[in-house]
Amino acid sequence: MTAFIEKAREQHPRLMRVLLFLVRFNLLALPLYLLLWTGFDPVWLRELNAWLTAGIIDLLGLEVSQSGTIVDTAHLSMDVSTDSTGWKSYIALSALLIAVVGHDLDMRLLGAGIGLLVVFIGNLMRLVTMIYLVEVFGLSYGLVHDLFWRWGLTLLIFLYWVAWMQHGAAVTAGLRKTANSIDR
Protein backbone atom coordinates (compact mmCIF):
# COMPACT_ATOMS: atom_id res chain seq x y z
CA MET A 1 0.00 0.00 0.00
CA THR A 2 2.85 2.38 0.87
CA ALA A 3 4.47 1.76 -2.51
CA PHE A 4 1.17 2.58 -4.23
CA ILE A 5 0.86 5.88 -2.32
CA GLU A 6 4.45 6.84 -3.08
CA LYS A 7 3.97 6.05 -6.76
CA ALA A 8 0.75 8.10 -6.84
CA ARG A 9 2.54 11.01 -5.11
CA GLU A 10 5.28 10.97 -7.73
CA GLN A 11 3.05 10.55 -10.77
CA HIS A 12 0.06 12.66 -9.68
CA PRO A 13 1.19 15.22 -7.08
CA ARG A 14 -1.69 17.63 -7.70
CA LEU A 15 -4.26 14.86 -7.48
CA MET A 16 -2.75 13.71 -4.17
CA ARG A 17 -2.89 17.27 -2.79
CA VAL A 18 -6.57 17.51 -3.75
CA LEU A 19 -7.25 14.13 -2.17
CA LEU A 20 -5.49 15.16 1.05
CA PHE A 21 -7.47 18.43 1.09
CA LEU A 22 -10.77 16.56 0.69
CA VAL A 23 -9.91 14.06 3.44
CA ARG A 24 -8.90 16.88 5.83
CA PHE A 25 -11.97 18.95 4.97
CA ASN A 26 -14.34 16.06 5.63
CA LEU A 27 -12.63 15.19 8.91
CA LEU A 28 -12.85 18.84 9.99
CA ALA A 29 -16.59 18.77 9.20
CA LEU A 30 -17.14 16.20 11.96
CA PRO A 31 -17.34 18.85 14.75
CA LEU A 32 -20.17 20.53 12.81
CA TYR A 33 -22.14 17.29 12.70
CA LEU A 34 -21.43 16.64 16.37
CA LEU A 35 -22.71 20.10 17.33
CA LEU A 36 -25.80 19.64 15.15
CA TRP A 37 -26.45 16.25 16.73
CA THR A 38 -26.21 17.70 20.27
CA GLY A 39 -28.63 20.55 19.50
CA PHE A 40 -25.99 23.28 19.91
CA ASP A 41 -27.66 26.59 20.78
CA PRO A 42 -25.29 29.43 21.73
CA VAL A 43 -27.89 31.74 23.28
CA TRP A 44 -25.15 34.19 24.33
CA LEU A 45 -24.09 34.54 20.66
CA ARG A 46 -27.69 34.98 19.55
CA GLU A 47 -28.21 37.70 22.16
CA LEU A 48 -24.93 39.42 21.23
CA ASN A 49 -25.93 39.48 17.55
CA ALA A 50 -29.41 40.80 18.42
CA TRP A 51 -27.95 43.51 20.68
CA LEU A 52 -25.38 44.65 18.09
CA THR A 53 -27.95 44.54 15.28
CA ALA A 54 -30.42 46.66 17.27
CA GLY A 55 -27.65 49.11 18.16
CA ILE A 56 -26.65 49.59 14.53
CA ILE A 57 -30.27 49.90 13.40
CA ASP A 58 -30.74 52.56 16.10
CA LEU A 59 -27.65 54.42 14.82
CA LEU A 60 -29.21 54.35 11.35
CA GLY A 61 -32.15 56.29 12.79
CA LEU A 62 -34.82 53.60 12.77
CA GLU A 63 -37.10 52.76 15.68
CA VAL A 64 -35.91 49.50 17.19
CA SER A 65 -36.13 47.51 20.40
CA GLN A 66 -34.36 44.36 21.47
CA SER A 67 -35.16 41.78 24.11
CA GLY A 68 -33.00 38.70 24.36
CA THR A 69 -32.72 37.32 20.85
CA ILE A 70 -35.65 39.31 19.43
CA VAL A 71 -35.17 42.50 17.40
CA ASP A 72 -38.39 44.47 16.84
CA THR A 73 -38.93 47.28 14.35
CA ALA A 74 -42.09 48.90 13.00
CA HIS A 75 -42.64 46.24 10.31
CA LEU A 76 -40.62 43.28 11.50
CA SER A 77 -40.04 41.12 14.55
CA MET A 78 -36.94 39.03 13.99
CA ASP A 79 -35.65 36.26 16.22
CA VAL A 80 -31.90 35.89 15.82
CA SER A 81 -31.87 32.12 15.56
CA THR A 82 -28.87 29.88 16.11
CA ASP A 83 -28.42 29.62 12.34
CA SER A 84 -28.55 33.43 12.08
CA THR A 85 -25.36 33.76 14.12
CA GLY A 86 -23.19 32.48 11.27
CA TRP A 87 -21.59 29.74 13.38
CA LYS A 88 -21.88 27.12 10.63
CA SER A 89 -20.29 29.51 8.16
CA TYR A 90 -17.33 30.02 10.47
CA ILE A 91 -16.84 26.28 10.96
CA ALA A 92 -17.01 25.75 7.18
CA LEU A 93 -14.51 28.55 6.54
CA SER A 94 -12.17 27.24 9.23
CA ALA A 95 -12.35 23.75 7.74
CA LEU A 96 -11.59 25.13 4.27
CA LEU A 97 -8.56 27.04 5.55
CA ILE A 98 -7.16 24.37 7.84
CA ALA A 99 -7.59 21.65 5.21
CA VAL A 100 -5.38 23.50 2.71
CA VAL A 101 -2.26 21.56 1.76
CA GLY A 102 1.11 23.30 1.45
CA HIS A 103 0.82 26.08 4.06
CA ASP A 104 2.09 26.06 7.63
CA LEU A 105 -0.53 25.21 10.25
CA ASP A 106 0.03 28.46 12.14
CA MET A 107 -0.63 30.43 8.95
CA ARG A 108 -3.84 28.47 8.35
CA LEU A 109 -4.94 29.02 11.97
CA LEU A 110 -4.24 32.75 11.70
CA GLY A 111 -6.30 32.81 8.50
CA ALA A 112 -9.12 31.07 10.38
CA GLY A 113 -8.86 33.61 13.22
CA ILE A 114 -9.08 36.54 10.83
CA GLY A 115 -11.87 34.66 9.05
CA LEU A 116 -13.84 34.54 12.30
CA LEU A 117 -13.81 38.33 12.40
CA VAL A 118 -14.74 38.57 8.70
CA VAL A 119 -17.65 36.14 9.09
CA PHE A 120 -18.86 37.82 12.29
CA ILE A 121 -18.85 41.30 10.74
CA GLY A 122 -20.31 40.00 7.46
CA ASN A 123 -23.08 38.21 9.31
CA LEU A 124 -23.83 41.28 11.42
CA MET A 125 -24.07 43.39 8.26
CA ARG A 126 -26.36 40.70 6.81
CA LEU A 127 -28.74 41.05 9.77
CA VAL A 128 -28.66 44.86 9.66
CA THR A 129 -29.23 45.12 5.91
CA MET A 130 -32.08 42.62 6.01
CA ILE A 131 -33.91 44.75 8.57
CA TYR A 132 -32.99 47.99 6.80
CA LEU A 133 -34.23 46.79 3.41
CA VAL A 134 -37.52 45.61 4.90
CA GLU A 135 -38.06 48.79 6.94
CA VAL A 136 -36.90 51.45 4.49
CA PHE A 137 -37.74 49.93 1.10
CA GLY A 138 -40.59 47.61 2.08
CA LEU A 139 -38.96 44.56 0.54
CA SER A 140 -40.16 41.11 1.50
CA TYR A 141 -38.16 39.65 4.38
CA GLY A 142 -38.33 36.19 2.81
CA LEU A 143 -36.98 37.47 -0.50
CA VAL A 144 -34.15 39.41 1.14
CA HIS A 145 -33.22 36.55 3.45
CA ASP A 146 -33.56 33.57 1.14
CA LEU A 147 -32.40 34.91 -2.20
CA PHE A 148 -30.02 37.69 -1.22
CA TRP A 149 -28.30 37.08 2.07
CA ARG A 150 -28.27 33.31 2.38
CA TRP A 151 -26.17 33.26 -0.79
CA GLY A 152 -24.39 36.46 0.21
CA LEU A 153 -22.79 34.86 3.26
CA THR A 154 -21.82 31.81 1.21
CA LEU A 155 -20.21 34.12 -1.35
CA LEU A 156 -18.35 36.00 1.41
CA ILE A 157 -16.88 32.75 2.71
CA PHE A 158 -15.87 31.61 -0.76
CA LEU A 159 -14.28 34.97 -1.65
CA TYR A 160 -12.37 35.13 1.65
CA TRP A 161 -11.06 31.60 1.10
CA VAL A 162 -9.98 32.36 -2.49
CA ALA A 163 -8.34 35.64 -1.40
CA TRP A 164 -6.55 33.86 1.43
CA MET A 165 -5.36 31.16 -0.96
CA GLN A 166 -3.95 33.82 -3.29
CA HIS A 167 -2.62 36.39 -0.81
CA GLY A 168 -3.16 35.13 2.72
CA ALA A 169 -0.04 33.04 2.94
CA ALA A 170 2.10 36.09 2.14
CA VAL A 171 0.16 38.29 4.56
CA THR A 172 0.32 35.79 7.41
CA ALA A 173 4.03 35.19 6.74
CA GLY A 174 4.56 38.96 6.97
CA LEU A 175 2.62 39.09 10.23
CA ARG A 176 4.71 36.24 11.61
CA LYS A 177 7.94 38.05 10.61
CA THR A 178 6.70 41.24 12.28
CA ALA A 179 5.74 39.35 15.44
CA ASN A 180 9.13 37.65 15.54
CA SER A 181 10.95 40.98 15.19
CA ILE A 182 8.90 42.44 18.06
CA ASP A 183 9.80 39.48 20.28
CA ARG A 184 13.51 40.12 19.83
User: Is 68 a member of any domain?
Assistant: yes
- Kindly report each contact of residues 81-87 with a partner whose C-beta sits within 8 Å and lies 24 or more positions away, as own/partner: 81/46, 82/40, 82/41, 82/42, 82/46, 84/46, 84/49, 84/123, 84/127, 85/42, 85/45, 85/46, 85/49, 85/123, 86/119, 86/120, 86/122, 86/123, 86/126, 86/153, 87/40, 87/42, 87/45
Is 143 within a domain? yes
In a domain, 173, yes or no: yes
The number of domains in the chain is: 1
Residue 64 lies in a domain: yes
- Decide if 184 is inside a domain: no
pLDDT tens for each residue of the chain, 184 residues long: 677 667 766 777 788 888 888 999 999 999 989 999 999 999 999 999 999 999 999 999 999 999 999 999 999 999 999 999 999 999 999 999 999 887 788 888 888 999 999 999 999 999 999 999 999 999 988 888 887 677 888 899 999 999 988 877 677 667 667 767 776 6
Note the pTM of the prediction, 2 decimals.
0.83
- Determine, yes or no, domain membership for 9: yes
- Domain region containing 89: 2-179
Asked if the structure places residue 167 within a domain, the reply is yes
Identify whether 124 is part of a domain: yes
